[in-house]
Structure 1
């Protein structure tokens, strides 16, 4: 079977959670347009936003922590030009310090929820956020208090739908009992499947859409680099991720062999196979999935969108099945604020 390398139509739409908005079955993660992956070309990034909309991508994902608010500001003109055509998602909870670029804190207290939402509304230049996520969970703050504060924003018309990121199945159920949750955003890919322990099942049970971030393993699954410390720019944060350097990188690079084999059979790229796997894996669990691969290039955007046309065979799924269990290294240097750290 041959798959075109770039999408030449518009992708299908799905409902983002029960009663949620209709969005393209693939979204766009915008983080790298402002920070973390080295230098960016603003003109190329803006062309990528336009290419996304032309391909039927309508869920655009940002966060207040990306570029210390600069990513939201970057998106504002695009949002203003296409407000009725897009679903705008942003996130709060990761607190950073202008004076200390390495500082990361997590805040979920109700006062901070409101403060962060008001700041995001100003930066984005909108009256309402379509999908507002709690980016990370602070276990010291009762979940009912955090979600209760988010629900107040819905009642006030400042937010339309609520989302959570990196929570366990039990935490998702607890939050959903306070206010309906439209989407759960967590890392899910051929390299990262810890969410299948409880979060995926809970989302399916509750009718919550799953929004996988880093469905391409932060680019490693594309084969674009083999060792971050050698192949990526000095300011690229992946140089500090355990999976992408040293012996871990060598081990993980070898795991791409079956991905390349399946890609060759489909006339596709490894990235397209990784994205198709996420879509198909979710269908096996009976839930809606809208992965948000990030890119700053229009051509890559169209390539990613073309993955929605691919259907993997049972034999191909079986070939890819063992990969995650063989991955060397954690997703982050500090896993404290991931759902995996709180699984029973």
Structure 2
């Protein structure tokens, strides 16, 4: 988040150099949110990884946090149609054909977790997502989410 002005000014060249240094040091997970800098962070990561072999890193993306034009936090949107839209923009900004982990940033109280996870599972089947992630959820919600994919989801890879 700090590379995209969330905590004050950020330096693009320094941020890209930091990502490269992390990858060179053996860090393999790049974690972001599509709402970090309102898409800026994904574009920054996309620029940093454009010439890096894809097998050297994993990308984890949180989605669904809504922002207003002033950058203020709003609600969450984890509806299946919105999630697919968010994912399309994420892939474009990152310059990738898939993300390794995709997860809602928070529980959307207006959308059953089963609906959100079912839609992400469709994106796994389609090859746009490798793994489903969860963030800031309690055990019962995690059980409900897991019930959607247990025995049903067969990733297209090993």
**TM-score > 0.5, shorter chain as reference:** yes
Post-superposition shift, 1:77?
2.0
CA distance in 1, matches of 2:42, 2:110: 28
Do residues 142 (structure 1) and 117 (structure 2) align?
no
Count of residues paired in the alignment: 149
**In 1: Cα distance, 2:88 partner to 2:13 partner:** 28
Give the one of 94, 97, 101 matched to 2:65.
94
The aligned runs of 1:153-302 (5 Å cut-off) are: 153-179=123-149
- Structure 1: gaps spanning 5 or more residues: 1-30, 181-344
Q: Which residue of 2 aligns with 1:48?
A: 18
Cα contact 2:65–2:73 (8 A) shared by 1: no
Taking the aligned partners of 1:143 and 1:135, their CA distance within structure 2 comes to 12
Larger radius of gyration: 1
Aligned to 1:107: 77
Structure scoring higher RCO (CA < 8 A, sep ≥ 6) equals: 1
Q: Aligned partners of 1:85 and 1:172: how far apart in 2?
A: 30
- Matching residue of 1:189: none
Q: What TM-score does the superposition give when structure 2 sets the normalisation length?
A: 0.89
2:78·2:116 contact (CA, 8 Å) conserved in 1? yes
Q: Distance in 2 between matches of 1:101 and 1:60?
A: 23
Displacement after TM superposition at 1:101 (Å): 2.5
Give the drift of 1:85. Answer: 0.5
- Unaligned ranges ≥5, structure 2: 151-158
What TM-score comes out, normalization by structure 1 length? Answer: 0.42
- Cα RMSD of the aligned pairs, angstroms, is 1.3
